Structure 1
Amino acid sequence: MYSPGETCTIDEMLVAFRGRCKFRQYIPSKPAKYGIKIFALVDSKVFYITNLEIYAGKQPDGPFSVSNKPLDVVNRIVSPVSKTHRNLTFDNWFTSYELVSHLLNEHKLTSVGTLRKNKKQIPPGFITTRGKELHSSTFGFQKNITLVSHIPKKNKVVLLMSSLHHDNKIDESTGVKQKPEVITFYNSTKSGVDVADELCATYNVSRNSKRWPLTIFFAMLNISGINANIIYRANNDNTRIKRRHFIKNLALSLIQDHLQIRRAHVNLPRQLRKRIADFTNEPTIEPPQKIPGARRRCQICPSKKDKKTTHTCHACHIYICPEHLISYCENCSNSMSINEESED
């Protein structure tokens, strides 16, 4: 239904959950802290969620036993955009020389990601800060992959690997910080999954559950609402509807058929039937006329009292017992009839 843009982000989402689940995760950097981890492929610009994979830990031997190594996870999740020459951005948990080479050669995808210092392919000169100036950068080039070491603060080094950039350009807009273009590009595309995770937590299906399959189902509803809003905006350039209003209209439209079926029930209270008719913009069905001598239970008294009566309301035609009956003399009744006719 939607084709992602030229840059995508791969990262982990955390669906808040504190019930019993063997693969529940603790991620202190996330607002929810505890929950079910989901790897996501998200458009970096409009935050359309393209592909998902639940992290279920180590599974027993069988069809659901898959490798959870970073290279294998990325290899499975990039299937919708494989061989499309897009760029992927991910953090240091995923980034490795093997992964960047594999994406470039097998999937025809470029990638940019931060790198941990414990990777064996990193030369020692890229890790140390001794003898280097503040805000300085060191570049290393291969045929298709570039390694960057930048010193943003004293005694701190930031490592990035890229198969998209092949030069040592510095972003002049960063001023005295002298950040390479690789870093500024990474900063502009790294937050796709984080924004999608934040959108899921705003105007969401606010229902907690201790059953993890139901929690996953609610998460899919939230993600579907986000994607539907993105597609709607893409197809209606002149419409600037707020996401809150879009989700409300979506929810009301989803229950439209159910309301019509429920409205046809004979035993539905008249007030509720009238509210449904007002919502669906359908004409209100006129109540049946009173049958002479018929006795019905008072519709205002609790049902346990079981008060039967033959009296009905003049306006809404519900059955009412003498406790709720108000009598008028003949003159008052005539004046009320005259007023009603004048209003008509």
Structure 2
Amino acid sequence: MPNKPNKYGLKIYALVDAKSFHVVNLEIYPGKQPPGPYALSNKAFDVADRLVAPISKTNRNITFDNWFTSYPLMLHLLKEHILTSTGTVRKNKREIPKQMLQTRNRDVHSSLIGFQKDISLVSYMQKKNKVVLVMSTLHHDNKIDSTTLEKMKPEMITFYNQTKGGVDVVDELCSNYNVARNTKRWPIVIFYAAINSIIIYKANNNCSLPRRDFLRDLGLGLISEHLQNRKNNQYLPKELRKRIQDHLGESSKEPPNKVARSIRRCKICPTKKDRKTKYVCYKCNCYICMEHAFFTCENCTRSQDE
């Protein structure tokens, strides 16, 4: 897509909540598919009809851009799915009256509004020789938003501006934490940002958590089972095993290092024997050979100490 900042990538159609930015539905654009069960229409009407399926007949409003907006689609959403819709309109649509497209002898910030039974169309003169067209099945009056002051924007225009940014915000959230490398495995490219999970987590726990910390904890949670299995590998380097235990919050169970002792002459044996040993008495710490040593169990040793 030459007009986009990122010209190459996977194209995704998304249905996103405009306030919480919760992603309701996604559809990856696969291009033209061969005949078969996966050969679906990529027309705007059919794509929108599939995307709104999870919220059909819920009396919500759908806001989309001029690629989707059409007179037949908006009436279809209203009658079949019980959903209102608002969107900008391309000027080459056949259903637009010519009077709505004229810019001559029109004042800047002026509006022309047309009404039918179920749909409204506004032509707003944004600046000289430029009009903005917005179609809506939600608005049925000519109210002007008083907060826009001298610009005198109709409520259809301000409502569209307030609700159009859901998909753009999700794109930005995904790009901020995109850690996928250059790969041909497209599932890895798609699965790189957890947006819905943190929204649901914050709503259920009524808390404020930085997204970076949540993604770190989520990533460690997803690999915890793999780390548990890998930790039990007896050939794993000690440093790597310790790092895994730190991530899992476990204490290190590595055996203590053996204390290297020097070899010296037995203190009890005669000097002329020159008998060397590495064993010491546990009380006086003197070097003794095995001939002069005797062994006790741990219980006897504890009772003697007491």
CA deviation vs aligned residue, 1:43-64 (integer Å, no higher than 9, x gap)? 1111111111111222221111
> Cα offset for 1:151?
0.1
Q: Specify which of 87, 91, 100 is matched with residue 113 of structure 1.
A: 87
> Cα offset for 1:289?
7.3
Counterpart Cα distance in 2 of 1:313 and 1:270? 20
- TM-score, with length taken from structure 2: 0.81
8 Å CA contact 2:180, 2:192 repeated in 1: no
Equivalent position of 2:152 in the other structure: 178
Equivalent position of 2:186 in the other structure: 215
8 Å CA contact 1:91, 1:115 repeated in 2: yes
Equivalent position of 2:273 in the other structure: none
Counterpart Cα distance in 2 of 1:67 and 1:240? 42
Equivalent position of 2:282 in the other structure: none
Residue 91 of structure 1 aligns with an amino acid whose one-letter code is D
Counterpart Cα distance in 2 of 1:313 and 1:28? 71
| Bigger shift: residues 59-68 or 151-160 | 59-68
Equivalent position of 2:72 in the other structure: 98
> Cα offset for 1:286?
3.6
Equivalent position of 1:49 in the other structure: 23
Residue 141 of structure 2 aligns with an amino acid whose one-letter code is D
8 Å CA contact 2:101, 2:123 repeated in 1: yes
- Structure 1: gaps of 5 or more residues: 1-25, 291-311, 315-344
Aligned-residue CA RMSD (Å): 1.8
Residue 253 of structure 2 aligns with an amino acid whose one-letter code is I
8 Å CA contact 1:208, 1:215 repeated in 2: no
Instruction: Tell me the number of residue pairs that the alignment of Structure 1 and Structure 2 aligns.
Output: 262
**Secondary structure of the structure 2 residue equivalent to 1:201:** helix
8 Å CA contact 2:88, 2:134 repeated in 1: yes
> Cα offset for 1:37?
1.0
Name which structure has the greater RCO, CA cutoff 8 Å, separation 6+. 1
Equivalent position of 1:268 in the other structure: 236
Counterpart Cα distance in 2 of 1:284 and 1:72? 58
Tell whether 2:42 aligns with 1:63: no
> Cα offset for 1:97?
0.5
Counterpart Cα distance in 1 of 2:43 and 2:125? 30
Equivalent position of 1:252 in the other structure: 220
Residue 60 of structure 1 aligns with an amino acid whose one-letter code is P
Q: 1:85-234 maps to which residues of 2 (within 5 A)? A: 85-209=59-183, 211=184, 214-222=185-193, 225-234=194-203
Equivalent position of 2:251 in the other structure: 283
